[in-house]
Homo-oligomer: A and B are copies of this chain.
């Protein structure tokens, strides 16, 4: 017995989808600095090389440090390097590893001109940069999937809603495409993060620089970030900026995904019946035998809200600090990590939902057949073809709606006009395919 549900399912739920919906119920979070080990190694190598360039350490010391850091990376990759909590943080653990290996005469030099403050900043920055690239890749894959599905259903007539009410018609493909376009904007935002926040802090020390003749630009050649700080203290003045913009971008992305999720959730109710979310992306109930629930989509909404809160913590935390480093700013690390772990699977899960989504044309069509959903189209046709000012055409159609039963009736319409509409005009104007097509401009 692994799950309390599932016998009513045709397909087994995807493990990733179940995991996504299960959140942190049965999942622990690693220590923050555990995650940063590879970035600490990378930054320490850059630092060691730069110390050598400035003749602060000699070739032999450099070689040992680089060799030691490589070895550490290997141990980490094999899962054999664990942080010792007594050694406070990743910086101390790594330096301590080197000290144990080479003695203080070698390892005691790597911290020359360096502070844990800037190390903390650079580790998280490298970690965020890595994540940002992965997220862009996942997001592009999702957009591609949306485009494909959108193309497949580009002519399927869908009721178009405003205020949750029938407004006009569009196509299912066009509806999906609109979310693809929103996500393209999010992709631009992810790119802007690199332009705005990818700034090397190395050389700023604890906030005010070091008297060692460090070359901040040279260090960054080894690191490969887009820019370098302009003033040492600026690094601490702007502590958390990169984290905050990243979480903002995640919040915007999750808001867009949550809107797509909500739309699909409502479309998949029995009452709408426009789409069926695959069993692979559904879960069951512990008490209701028939249930197939769109949990992964619901969870998108929770994750959007998580990002809202994380952003708030970041902003509140960075309000009105006194000049220089302050320990509270350390908390930005945990926040951005929490935000990333909440968001990282979201595009892939949404991609799976879209790929496996079944569309029910008949249910959509049924909704278009009765009621006054084509009223805007009718009004505009009247205005265009009969030269009736739009405002008057609207009033005429409004009255017709009021006086009709359940569908537009030509004679009622004509009673509300000074001109007469023919049966042929009437029918050609009230064609959902034509209206939908005309509304979608290239």
Contact = CB atoms under 8 A, between A and B. Distances in A.
A234 interface: yes
Interface residues of A, number: 205
A67 interface: no
Contacts of A105: 389
A356 interface: no
Interface stretch (A131-139, A157-165, A344-352): A157-165
Contacts of A284: 398
Interface in A52-108: 56, 83-92, 95-96, 99, 104-108
18 contacts: A4-B111, A5-B398, A8-B402, A25-B31, A92-B286, A111-B391, A116-B286, A162-B293, A163-B295, A163-B324, A263-B322, A283-B327, A287-B376, A290-B372, A301-B328, A304-B319, A306-B313, A309-B335
Contact of A438 (B211, B233, B312, B322): B211
Given A1-B99, A291-B163, A328-B302, A334 B23 contact: yes
Interface string A232-270: 111011100100110010011001101101110110111
A299 B327 CA distance: 6
Contact of A164 (B269, B312, B333, B334): B269
A421 interface: no
A321 interface: yes
Please report whether the interface of chain A is mostly helix, strand, loop or mixed according to DSSP.
helix
Given A3-B87, A99-B391, A163-B298, 13 more contacts: A2-B88, A4-B111, A8-B399, A22-B88, A167-B285, A168-B208, A170-B233, A181-B234, A205-B439, A271-B273, A299-B327, A300-B320, A302-B327
The list of the 9 closest CB pairs from A to B, nearest first, reads: A309-B313, A108-B389, A108-B391, A178-B233, A209-B439, A7-B398, A290-B372, A302-B328, A163-B293
Contact of A327 (B234, B298, B326): B298
Interface centre among A89, A214, A322, A333 (most CB of B within 10 A): A322
Contact of A170 (B85, B208, B213): B208
Interface in A7-26: 7-10, 18, 21-26
Nearest to A376: B288
A297 to B, nearest CB: 9
B31 A28 contact: yes
A174 interface: yes
Interface string A404-442: 000000000000000000000000000000110011110
